[in-house]
Structure 1
């Protein structure tokens, strides 16, 4: 200051220092909490990864279990269907016994459908269904499917009509068949006397419709019916109740194929289930002929010598009983050793029906290859199995053999055997 002295100014920074210390502690605490949360998230991710791995293993285990159980259940069902078919061919069977056989066959078919549905749902959930889309003629495909349901319609007193077409489409014929088949089965269950299977073109798309004159579905329940194990209370029938999987399978298969399905319904008037598929405008390289209905007489296979190989004795008995009634000369064996004994006795069969999964790890393909080598002849063969995986069916066809799924449908079996019937 002028004249000497000085002035000092002091500011209290205690609050600032405390705030600074608090911020420093908060920062350190935050870093610690971030570190803790990062560790916790890391542990949670590990736990989630482990849980996902466990769930995937459980799902795979469930799929394998269902496949194994389905295969084992199909074996006695196959034998039962064979016995039922053989019984239906009994001459002079009383009318009441014929009705019992018809009901028995219907019950066995329902059990087979339930097992197939469970297996299909399992395959859909595990992503094991791979579509093999190709162009094909829709008309013959529809007529083959219609022929099957025409017989069912006659049995149930339903007016079933089919409107065919000359259009070609692109899809997987087998998967698409299962979808439309489920639509028809559902329509037959709830139809009020009339079902129509028809086709409508929509630009570059083709819509396949299944109409019925049932009681209809409320608008708020239209999506509900596509859920697994769901059935509308108002749609209970006196027929077999089932598990409510048919439409759920159709929905799952349509998503695999990338096709759109829809349902429209009018209460007390009926419903229409539809699937829309791409149209094929080009030429077809080849078109498989439609399945012809077998109209041959009761014993069309007389003189045909058939070798049946299966490790289930009940199936051999059932096959022998059914084929014998068709006029075949039937030989049976359960393994290669018994086949070798037949060969040594001079037997040369016209046809071999062989189960795929045999004892000691042997397969139907391997046994038929061995049989051809032993006989030095291209013996035709049909591999029969409850294992219907696409890769197995492809392997059978690659070996120049036919494939038939268990439980064996007598009409399908007879149609295949007829290919090898003697010309004389």
Structure 2
């Protein structure tokens, strides 16, 4: 991990991450390790989501929990999330260890840092784990905060941006799904979505498959993209675009501007009969939210042929 971070050869795919799922995976991976040491690993359920790379964030959290277990002799390790300010999330790892003196708070993040050997003071030998956490946080645009008091334990926090529970179920699939044989690579796709986090998630997923993506949050932006970049292979639009705009209206405007029946697809969580009938009458394919990456990819293959 350290050599890959040094070389910059670490792909980053930002997407909404279900933190409850993430914390559950960490508990499953490390609960036996904690119990073998006589510690209790407590993980609090959370409804929060955050914008990150699920693979790198999981590795960061695993490193923090492993350190907490390794340097705590009695008691428990707690992993929890809470909101931070208006649009932030704080993932916290608490331990009941002996704490880290204030003068060493910066040093523990240094590569290969070890304090002088002190019998019984294993909390001071944090090795490479925290250096990897710090580098990964920098790569992702997150922040690491350390709070510790000698005799009272330690808390490490990862500070990152919150995101709503977005409609695309790509939190882990977008990170781990292999790009496949290039069957959709090179497709030019115009993504129209007024939710910035959801738009970024779709863009990241499509780009991981080799697609070229233009993005817009409104009909006006979509028309500007059409004028600047030319006719895309596919329009992928959310239905509700805000300000009384709909994806169907936007698709119609783009087709009229291009004087071409550009292939298009709508994404929506709507299930009302009137809505479904209107989409069917418009002869526009519909992907129901949460959209499964496999379904989206299947649609792209179909559109390409």
Normalising by structure 1, what TM-score? 0.39
Please list the CA deviations of residues 22-74 of structure 1 after superposition, one character each: whole Å capped at 9, or x if unmatched: xxxxxxxxxxxxxxxxxxxxxxxxxxxxxxxxxxxxxxxxxxxxxxxxxxxxx
Q: Deviations over 1:84-109 (max 9, x none)?
A: xxxxxxxxxxxxxxxxxxxxxxxxxx
Partner of residue 196 from structure 1, selected from 78, 81, 88: 78
For 2:128, the equivalent position in structure 1 comes to 245
- In the other structure, the counterpart of 2:100 is 217
Q: Which residue of 2 aligns with 1:308?
A: none
Matched, 1:142 2:51: no
Aligned partners of 1:224 and 1:214: how far apart in 2?
18
Distance in 1, matches of 2:34 and 2:182, equals 37
Return the offset for 1:398: 6.7
Q: What residue is the counterpart of 1:131 in the other structure?
A: 12
Secondary structure of the equivalent of 1:255?
helix
CA distance in 1, matches of 2:119, 2:140: 30
- Count how many residue pairs are aligned between Structure 1 and Structure 2: 179
Aligned residue number for residue 176 of structure 1:
57
**Deviation at 1:176?**
0.4
Closer/same/farther in 2, CA of residues 144 and 234 from structure 1, 3 Å limit: same
Aligned to 2:33: 152
* Counterparts in 2 of 1:396 and 1:247: CA distance versus 1, 3 Å: farther
Q: Is the 8 A contact 1:136 1:284 kept in 2?
A: no
| 1:210–1:170 distance in 2 versus 1, CA, 3 Å | same
Residue 394 of structure 1 corresponds to 178
The DSSP-based 3-state class of the residue aligned with 1:176 is helix
Deviation at 1:277, TM superposition (A): 1.2
- Preserved contact between residue 133 and residue 172 of structure 1 (Cα < 8 Å): yes
* Cα RMSD, aligned residues only: 3.0
Deviation at 1:238, TM superposition (A): 9.8
* 1:265-284 aligned within 5 A: 265-281=148-164, 283-284=166-167
1:60 match = none
Q: Distance in 2 between matches of 1:165 and 1:134?
A: 18
SS state of the match for residue 215, structure 1? Answer: coil
Change in 2 beyond 3 A, CA 1:236/1:287: farther
User: Which of residues 184, 194, 206 in structure 1 aligns to 2:89?
Assistant: 206
Structure 1 residue 215: Cα displacement: 1.1
The structure 2 residue matched to 1:161, chosen from 16, 25, 42, is 42
CA contact (8 A) 2:54 2:172 kept: no
Tell me how far apart the structure 1 counterparts of residues 80 and 171 of structure 2 sit (CA, whole Å).
Answer: 21
- 1:254 alignment counterpart: 137
More helix by share: 1
How far, CA to CA, are the matches of 1:398 and 1:233 in structure 2? Answer: 53
Unaligned runs of 5+ in 1: 1-119, 291-389, 400-424
Give the drift of 1:256. 0.2
Gap change, CA 1:263 and 1:234, over 3 Å in 2: farther
Q: TM-score, normalised by structure 2?
A: 0.53
Local SS of the residue matching 2:178? helix
Moved over 4 A (4+): 234-239, 287-290, 395-399
Task: List alignment gaps of at least 5 residues for structure 2.
Answer: 184-305
Q: 1:183 to 1:234 in 2, by over 3 A?
A: farther
Is the strand fraction higher in 1 or 2?
A: 2
State how far apart, in whole Å, the 1-side matches of 2:125 and 2:180 are: 32
CA distance 1:185–1:204, change in 2 (3 Å) = same
